[in-house]
Amino acid sequence: MAQGKQKFKARKTAAAGKKAAAAARGLRKGGRVIAPKKTRVIQQQKVKKNLEVTIRKKIEHEVVMKASAKLPKKLSLLKAPKVETKKDPGHSSKS
């Protein structure tokens, strides 16, 4: 019978390490979407998505129109400004 401490620890394989890391991260938020294989179902999903977008845009437009009709000032929607990141090449003011 062997006595004393073992000199070397057993190493985990790379696959076991990945599984342990994934388990430590926990569950991800949101539902999993499994892509359908049937073309008819794919077409139905596209139509459904387009309808949802169209309906949402129409509702937003109606809300804006009603709000602008009630307010004394004209209502304007603001869009986020585009951020430009330009770097000047190394110009120095030394003469």
Q: Are 36 and 45 in contact (CB under 8 A)?
A: yes
pLDDT in tens, 9-48: 667 777 777 777 777 777 777 778 787 788 898 899 999 9
pLDDT in tens, 61-87: 999 888 888 887 776 767 777 777 665
The residues, ordered by sequence, that sit 6+ positions from 64 with a Cβ below 8 Å of its Cβ are 75, 77
